[in-house]
Structure 1
């Protein structure tokens, strides 16, 4: 039998279950009978409510006809799945209709529904009519109609579904009047159980799976029919409910139930078996044989049957008892079951384990793999009660890990245990691009079995919670914010208005629960429907907020988290994304925002909190140097939070193909001067009760590397510079200034970081069908007994342009700028303007003022609808003012070509891993890098540019315009670019 062990496989197999559905029913009856069923029984309403409660989109439709002739005509016009006939059984000629229909349509089951009390002789005669599937008795209880529909579906589906682990209950009784009473009771309990399971489902798919995996009910009227079912489905049975007197070997046998019980005990010793009878002598015999028994004459029969089902089939709560029956506690779901087992008295644990109660409870929840592991716990092999407890808890822990791995769970109904290793969705709508990428890689990491592949390091996605995009729309509409935004408010006014507006009530409740369960800092990140898309990444355009989540009052923590979500929403309407959208020729109104809330990866050092390593890896390297190849990729690593990387500050770069290859520096002293000299962290205590502001940088602390040395967090990442020897020692135990070199990992492989990065880049590239960039963080716990963790944070496709057509360069035409270090692909024309930083007045100390002046000239071009070439020194768009010009996106939105020029004392590496450059390539802008004093790699004719006509000038910046357009060519394959005079 195939078992649904793999959760992803189970969800993919949903549509292989219950393939036969009764959606079209043909009712053959008198008009009065139809009226009785419809009005007195409220047939349609009953069926609707029973099915709708389970969110099943297959609600049967009933077509009524009065006679056999009309039935035949109806069968010609539509597909019918079930025929119910209410012909009077006393009129045996009525079987002519059923026989005729069955002959023409042998695959359509026919059920007879009778008002008449059926005597044994009549039942025997009906059984000889092969066209009748079953006869049911109508007593006015409309639930029998639901039972008929579900019984026929079960009968048709059981053979296929049982191979996928679906369970079954066998009812053995030859009385239509009795099984017409009992079947509705059993189905009612099954549907009640299913509703409960759906409420505790991980997500919609899991809920649908549980609906389709509900136990089936099989019906047998004879001993031989019962044994055939038991033999065929012995591994799928939850239990047998049997009459005592029914046909055996063609004759009515008064002890057939006892005979059946004996055979079942030989085949399946632990299978629950309930005998029922009207004869009291059978009760005495059952008690003597220690068999479960119900008296059919009891006024409490139906109640007693329901109680038996709940207690023996694992339905409802798990009731923990002592062996003498005293109740200890009860568990409503698997999470509470696991919690209670931890402290359960030994005698109760031993009792339930040896009686197979745990296994049966899981089997009723269609968790067959867990049920099999918990079945018949061998106390001699397992040992003491503590060993039994440890074994059961391990099975449950494996279950939690397995079902959470690679899945997006729905937040509603989840407990703290469910949140431990999960990707959880709050609300409805899209996950957004960023969260979708994380969720997808969460699935792929589990599928590729990378979680525990590497020695001494676990690969995982940090606990993640996504607020669906529908919540954004509801928030905007409920607070009437579109009319407010139509007044063109400032960014400060937008932030204030959004934070003052309440989130939808359901979202508030969810976030309150979240802040009670999660106690570490949280990163609240944008995940718009356009973000990280294959065409337009919107990388870094929206804001990300870090919430300390450390205040003693969870209401304060909730308010901080809610404000962060609302500020992410507000950032949709800030100048940068609005301008970016215009450049991309889309309307910002098309944008919808989901929000990704992730545990901030890190360790606490006193009041500080930060990870040992943050990183960005790209599967394609724009600027390889020998022996590197573009396809080898490139990685940027930083101590502390990843802000240093995405903002284009000093970090460590290497190729995963050559991790031991040192950076291109002249010697140890230059290495010291160019290495990362500061890192980002957050101060937990200082920020505990902070009020969130629109500026997302409010919480970060920029600290010297010496602080990390004090925190003893440099063991895996640091080295020491010795001024005395002018050398670098690859450890932090020598005297001297500390460097961030990652040598213990990259040179001595103390952690398998390089291999993990290679595997994830390969997996991402294969999955996306293009080159990718990933973000990650590595946590190295101070407690050496805890596993080190590689946390996957984000993935996005790279838009590199090299796959486009080759651009032919005409080097005979005079140019004023050329470079072999470019990004882009194509021919850029119709550019008449150049904004450039004047080399004669440039002062790095004034880089912030230079940004403002560029912004002023950029606004003029925006109003005129003109694009330009932007020329500056150092890094453009860096957050570190000492590495270049700290422009924001809206300050340079009209640039079509960006040229970064090095100076003798300003030669930072291009920040090609930053969000800035992702958006540059995604919007088909061109990029040139001009190295200092290296004409082989590129030239820049300042003399020519300074002679061009100046349209407008500020203190540090000039705007040049000429009537004849500039032409720019960039070949994305060779990385060569030329700007012609």
Structure 2
């Protein structure tokens, strides 16, 4: 059965996170009378507020806001700056603000427009009679700048949805809700949660650049306000839905009015196609809890004081966020918990068969991988269901092999930041410190990258094309060693090489390296070469190779003896920088 999946020929392509979320909102035009604009924030510092929101969530590219209060000012700005979004706050007094925005929309059809209204009875009544078709969304301003971040993210998600799903299989959360006030409070809550989660899973990335890119793979949130819109989105993206959160009473176009059970009918239609996709029903009518049990959905009471807390908890438990928890299928008690891919790999064969079976037959593992933006493994494991492969041990092996392949691929061709809990037999190349790698280090990293991009190297029988496991101590470690031990005076004097070497060997390397070296010894069970990698080495215009000393140390069972030899070898290389030749 295993050969059917040709695990040995399985080749994961790396996800190009840089190709995701390419369409952004950079410039926002805010049309509001001065008082409303001031209300939006006690002292009008909306840019700063949004900037702080963005940085706290590790987001980049916060948008710039331009505020105007009349139609003429708006048209002047639109003529000179290209805006990506227009937010309009209709005041309570004048009735023409809707007409103003409609007029602007007729001139600039391509720019999405959003209405942001203060919440009051008068406004609600007025909105009921207005034609809102020119506007993308209507939101209710409850005095919180989180809402502005969610409006921007919601529209960015919509702009990038189709491309990102087709590109790598990004997942989406479908929110079905027509109550303006409700979705205006649910969305900020949901976005904050999803963005915080993506901050956490981005720590699986191997360096800072990868971490920010990886956040682009977070699940998107899509808002639907009618039955037809919701089911249309479900049908189009059903293979990429992490979960559905639905209200019960909302419009059905064919009836032209609200249907008191539209959400229940939506759940029934979805369950017909997918017995396992997580569903959450929210309703202010508590009798609807009976339907939730029928369609295996979670229920949230909209009247509850802690509705937002309930929502976060249920989304976290059911949509594959957070730690993966193996449960006893009968009691649902927690048996084991894993935080990352490495822990999942280590525990796979120890989880009791019935618990393992419970999770794989419900797609839990692939959903967890999807929510953490590990698309290649998730895509591979998803079609291998219990029905297609009725053998628990074979299943464990497939998942284990897939994780190993994926981790090897992720580690190849990347200069990872060395982390003790992360460096293992699948790690290839890591750096300690933030300085430069030097020529030889850079050359090895380059070769590693070349090998990664040529899967044909995998095809040789009984041979592996790879670089040796490499750790680079960056130049800042060298600078620190020189400074803390006051070595420059002796190093730059005219004394013999032996004297310089003696001084260097007596000096002390930074303490934090000791644990790092022990981790390295645990992984590398072979002799170690200690080589210099100078900044001038391998430069095209002046060969500089072979000027510094290289030391070999044997692999011993006595780790402290190895530590002593390794430290001496490093100090010896450092000393040779200042030798005569």
TM-score (norm 2): 0.89
The structure 2 residue matched to 1:92, chosen from 86, 91, 95, is 95
Q: CA deviation at 1:575?
A: 1.8
The structure 1 residue matched to 2:205, chosen from 174, 191, 201, is 201
User: Residue 341 of structure 2 aligns with which residue?
Assistant: 334
The structure 1 residue matched to 2:399, chosen from 365, 370, 392, is 392
Q: CA deviation at 1:531?
A: 1.4
Given that residues 511 and 562 in structure 1 are in contact (C-alpha distance below 8 angstroms), is that contact kept between their aligned partners in structure 2? no
2:180 is the alignment partner of 1:176: yes
User: Residue 251 of structure 2 aligns with which residue?
Assistant: 247
User: What is the DSSP-based 3-state SS (H/G/I as helix, E as strand, rest coil) of the residue aligned with 2:133?
Assistant: coil
Q: CA deviation at 1:138?
A: 1.9
2:224 is the alignment partner of 1:220: yes
2:570 is the alignment partner of 1:565: yes
User: Residue 171 of structure 2 aligns with which residue?
Assistant: 167
User: Residue 287 of structure 2 aligns with which residue?
Assistant: 281
C-alpha separation between the residues in 2 aligned to 1:497 and 1:35?
67
C-alpha separation between the residues in 1 aligned to 2:57 and 2:421?
19
Rate the CA distance shift 1:455–1:316 in 2: closer, same or farther, 3 A: same
The structure 1 residue matched to 2:364, chosen from 357, 360, 364, is 357
C-alpha separation between the residues in 1 aligned to 2:511 and 2:104?
57
Pick which of 490-499 and 429-438 moved more. Answer: 490-499
C-alpha separation between the residues in 2 aligned to 1:504 and 1:253?
69
User: What is the DSSP-based 3-state SS (H/G/I as helix, E as strand, rest coil) of the residue aligned with 1:452?
Assistant: helix
Given that residues 440 and 534 in structure 2 are in contact (C-alpha distance below 8 angstroms), is that contact kept between their aligned partners in structure 1? yes
User: What is the DSSP-based 3-state SS (H/G/I as helix, E as strand, rest coil) of the residue aligned with 2:532?
Assistant: strand
C-alpha separation between the residues in 2 aligned to 1:347 and 1:483?
68
> What are the within-5 Å matches in structure 2 for residues 519-918 of structure 1?
519-548=525-554, 550=556, 552-554=558-560, 557-576=562-581
Given that residues 117 and 177 in structure 1 are in contact (C-alpha distance below 8 angstroms), is that contact kept between their aligned partners in structure 2? no
User: Residue 463 of structure 1 aligns with which residue?
Assistant: 469
The structure 1 residue matched to 2:118, chosen from 115, 119, 122, is 115
Q: Deviations over 1:741-770 (max 9, x none)?
A: xxxxxxxxxxxxxxxxxxxxxxxxxxxxxx
Structure 1 residue ranges without an equivalent (≥5): 577-981
User: Residue 814 of structure 1 aligns with which residue?
Assistant: none
C-alpha separation between the residues in 1 aligned to 2:251 and 2:93?
23
**Aligned pairs, how many?**
567
C-alpha separation between the residues in 1 aligned to 2:227 and 2:78?
35
C-alpha separation between the residues in 1 aligned to 2:211 and 2:17?
10
C-alpha separation between the residues in 2 aligned to 1:282 and 1:23?
42
Given that residues 420 and 463 in structure 1 are in contact (C-alpha distance below 8 angstroms), is that contact kept between their aligned partners in structure 2? no
User: Residue 70 of structure 1 aligns with which residue?
Assistant: 73
User: Residue 104 of structure 2 aligns with which residue?
Assistant: 101
Q: CA deviation at 1:6?
A: 7.1
Q: Deviations over 1:484-532 (max 9, x none)?
A: 5443444334334444555456656644543454454321211122212
Rate the CA distance shift 1:29–1:199 in 2: closer, same or farther, 3 A: same
User: Residue 62 of structure 2 aligns with which residue?
Assistant: 59
C-alpha separation between the residues in 2 aligned to 1:472 and 1:148?
48
User: What is the DSSP-based 3-state SS (H/G/I as helix, E as strand, rest coil) of the residue aligned with 2:183?
Assistant: helix
User: Residue 431 of structure 1 aligns with which residue?
Assistant: 437
Q: CA deviation at 1:356?
A: 1.1
Given that residues 317 and 330 in structure 1 are in contact (C-alpha distance below 8 angstroms), is that contact kept between their aligned partners in structure 2? yes
Structure 1 consecutive aligned stretches of length 4 or more whose deviation exceeds 6 Å: 5-8
C-alpha separation between the residues in 2 aligned to 1:532 and 1:152?
48
Q: CA deviation at 1:471?
A: 3.5
2:277 is the alignment partner of 1:271: yes
Given that residues 241 and 275 in structure 1 are in contact (C-alpha distance below 8 angstroms), is that contact kept between their aligned partners in structure 2? yes
Q: CA deviation at 1:380?
A: 5.3
Given that residues 117 and 137 in structure 1 are in contact (C-alpha distance below 8 angstroms), is that contact kept between their aligned partners in structure 2? no
Bigger RCO (CA 8 Å, 6+ sep): 2
Q: CA deviation at 1:319?
A: 1.0
Given that residues 215 and 364 in structure 1 are in contact (C-alpha distance below 8 angstroms), is that contact kept between their aligned partners in structure 2? yes
C-alpha separation between the residues in 1 aligned to 2:512 and 2:63?
33
CA-atom RMSD in angstroms:
2.8
Q: CA deviation at 1:212?
A: 1.2
C-alpha separation between the residues in 2 aligned to 1:65 and 1:74?
8
Rate the CA distance shift 1:53–1:410 in 2: closer, same or farther, 3 A: farther
User: What is the DSSP-based 3-state SS (H/G/I as helix, E as strand, rest coil) of the residue aligned with 1:218?
Assistant: strand
User: Residue 351 of structure 2 aligns with which residue?
Assistant: 344
C-alpha separation between the residues in 2 aligned to 1:500 and 1:147?
58
The structure 1 residue matched to 2:328, chosen from 319, 322, 327, is 322
User: What is the DSSP-based 3-state SS (H/G/I as helix, E as strand, rest coil) of the residue aligned with 2:459?
Assistant: coil
User: What is the DSSP-based 3-state SS (H/G/I as helix, E as strand, rest coil) of the residue aligned with 1:573?
Assistant: coil
Q: CA deviation at 1:169?
A: 0.9
Given that residues 407 and 439 in structure 1 are in contact (C-alpha distance below 8 angstroms), is that contact kept between their aligned partners in structure 2? yes
Given that residues 469 and 524 in structure 2 are in contact (C-alpha distance below 8 angstroms), is that contact kept between their aligned partners in structure 1? no
Q: Deviations over 1:549-608 (max 9, x none)?
A: 535355x544543443333233222222xxxxxxxxxxxxxxxxxxxxxxxxxxxxxxxx
User: Residue 651 of structure 1 aligns with which residue?
Assistant: none
C-alpha separation between the residues in 1 aligned to 2:303 and 2:572?
68
User: Residue 25 of structure 2 aligns with which residue?
Assistant: 22
User: What is the DSSP-based 3-state SS (H/G/I as helix, E as strand, rest coil) of the residue aligned with 2:460?
Assistant: coil
C-alpha separation between the residues in 2 aligned to 1:519 and 1:18?
43
Given that residues 328 and 334 in structure 2 are in contact (C-alpha distance below 8 angstroms), is that contact kept between their aligned partners in structure 1? yes
C-alpha separation between the residues in 1 aligned to 2:495 and 2:46?
58
Q: CA deviation at 1:219?
A: 0.7
Given that residues 38 and 44 in structure 1 are in contact (C-alpha distance below 8 angstroms), is that contact kept between their aligned partners in structure 2? no
Q: CA deviation at 1:55?
A: 4.4
User: Residue 158 of structure 1 aligns with which residue?
Assistant: 161
Given that residues 57 and 196 in structure 2 are in contact (C-alpha distance below 8 angstroms), is that contact kept between their aligned partners in structure 1? no
Rate the CA distance shift 1:567–1:90 in 2: closer, same or farther, 3 A: farther
User: What is the DSSP-based 3-state SS (H/G/I as helix, E as strand, rest coil) of the residue aligned with 1:202?
Assistant: coil
C-alpha separation between the residues in 2 aligned to 1:226 and 1:439?
48
Rate the CA distance shift 1:303–1:57 in 2: closer, same or farther, 3 A: closer
Q: CA deviation at 1:473?
A: 4.0
Rate the CA distance shift 1:33–1:381 in 2: closer, same or farther, 3 A: closer
- Which of the pair has more CA radius of gyration? 1
C-alpha separation between the residues in 2 aligned to 1:38 and 1:370?
45
C-alpha separation between the residues in 2 aligned to 1:205 and 1:472?
24
Pick which of 402-411 and 305-314 moved more. Answer: 402-411
User: What is the DSSP-based 3-state SS (H/G/I as helix, E as strand, rest coil) of the residue aligned with 1:257?
Assistant: helix
Given that residues 49 and 145 in structure 2 are in contact (C-alpha distance below 8 angstroms), is that contact kept between their aligned partners in structure 1? yes
Given that residues 223 and 260 in structure 1 are in contact (C-alpha distance below 8 angstroms), is that contact kept between their aligned partners in structure 2? yes
> What are the within-5 Å matches in structure 2 for residues 143-154 of structure 1?
143-154=146-157
Q: CA deviation at 1:318?
A: 0.5
Q: Which structure shows the higher strand fraction? A: 1
Given that residues 409 and 423 in structure 1 are in contact (C-alpha distance below 8 angstroms), is that contact kept between their aligned partners in structure 2? yes
C-alpha separation between the residues in 1 aligned to 2:390 and 2:222?
39
TM-score (norm 1): 0.54
User: What is the DSSP-based 3-state SS (H/G/I as helix, E as strand, rest coil) of the residue aligned with 2:448?
Assistant: helix
User: What is the DSSP-based 3-state SS (H/G/I as helix, E as strand, rest coil) of the residue aligned with 1:28?
Assistant: strand
C-alpha separation between the residues in 2 aligned to 1:136 and 1:194?
25
C-alpha separation between the residues in 1 aligned to 2:347 and 2:14?
30
